[in-house]
Amino acid sequence: MLKLCYKDYLAGRWLWLATSAIYVLYAVQPLGSSVMIMAFGLAFVLANLLIPFIFEDKDKTEVLYAGLPLTRATIVRGRYLLGILILAGCGLLVFGMNAAVGAVVQTPIYQGGLMPLRSPSAVAGFLLAGGLAIATYLPVYHKLGLGRANMVFVAAWLMIFTAAAGLERLASVHLKLIRPILTAEFLKDPGKGVISWLEAMRSAAGTPIFFLAVGALLALIFLASMRISVRAYERREF
């Protein structure tokens, strides 16, 4: 599977470098909203995952690799491994940049926006969100191919954001049902809100158990997603 990641590395390395440079430029901007930083970090993960797929689609190399001595299941597993490596690499850059910028620029905006994003709970949140995004995208990609998968995925995210906006509206009229979860404080900065939830869980369970649970949850999500992807990809015809 590492061989598959290596060919993706050869194909996508310059664009990965370019997206990383863009992220670094973005991360040095004085951002106050932690949710923006988190959303951009997540977009960074997905963009990097898509780069090799875009090259594969443009150059039709899926046909080539499906003809090589590999099973479809191996090809799918290789893509999941690539997703994990990208998640880890992006995580290093995202949190590394947060730490570096936070250390250099000591303004109230940075402290307010970035401090919560440097906690272990923020790392867990990033891994869970990125892992979930990868695990939901890949089955759609293996079933529908790049073009249609991207349309479905974008449509799904638009629906999620629309629903989130709707929830915010509901919360603003103080609906009793959701008030305990979506407090006004949470809605003021949902990024920090999510991290606060995770922080509460980490405090309750202890850091080792919390991270074990995060790892187990991610493993379960990835295994289930990979199973669906393998089934879909084995049916794909080139």
Partner 1 sequence: MHNALEIDRLAKSYGDFRLRDVSFSVPRGYIMGLIGPNGAGKTTIIKLILNLIRRDGGEVRIFGSDNRSREVEVKRRIGFVHDAPCFFEHLTLRNVGRTIAPFYPDWDGPLFERLLRDFDLPPGKRFVKLSRGMKMKFALAVALSHKADLLILDEPTSGLDPVFRRELLGRLSAFIQDEGKAVLFSTHITADLERIADFITFIREGEIVFSTSKDEILGSWAVVKGGLELLAEDKRPLFKAVRKREFSVQALTAIAAEARRRLGPSAVIERATLEDIMFYLSRGNGHA
- Compute the least distance from the CB of residue 153 to partner 1, in Å: 24
Instruction: Read off φ and ψ for residue 85, nearest 5 degrees.
Output: -65, -40
Residue pair 189/181 in contact (Cβ under 8 Å)? The answer is: no
**Rounded-to-integer distance, Cα 133 and Cα 144, Å:** 17
Identify the residue among 70, 84, 128, 221 touching partner 1 (CB under 8 A). Answer: 70
Extract the tokens encoding 135: 């695990």
Extract the tokens encoding 80: 């999941």
Is residue 57 at the binding interface for partner 1, with CB under 8 A as the rule?
no
Extract the tokens encoding 46: 């997905």
Identify the residue among 24, 35, 36, 66 touching partner 1 (CB under 8 A). Answer: 66
Identify the residue among 63, 159, 178, 205 touching partner 1 (CB under 8 A). Answer: 63
Residues that bind partner 1 (rule: CB under 8 A) add up to a total of 21
Residue pair 35/189 in contact (Cβ under 8 Å)? The answer is: yes
**Rounded-to-integer distance, Cα 145 and Cα 52, Å:** 13
Nearer to partner 1, 208 or 237 (CB): 237
Identify the residue among 35, 36, 39, 55 touching partner 1 (CB under 8 A). Answer: 55
Is residue 208 at the binding interface for partner 1, with CB under 8 A as the rule?
no
- Residues near partner 1, by CB under 8 A: 3, 6-7, 10-11, 55, 58-61, 63-64, 66-71, 235, 237-238
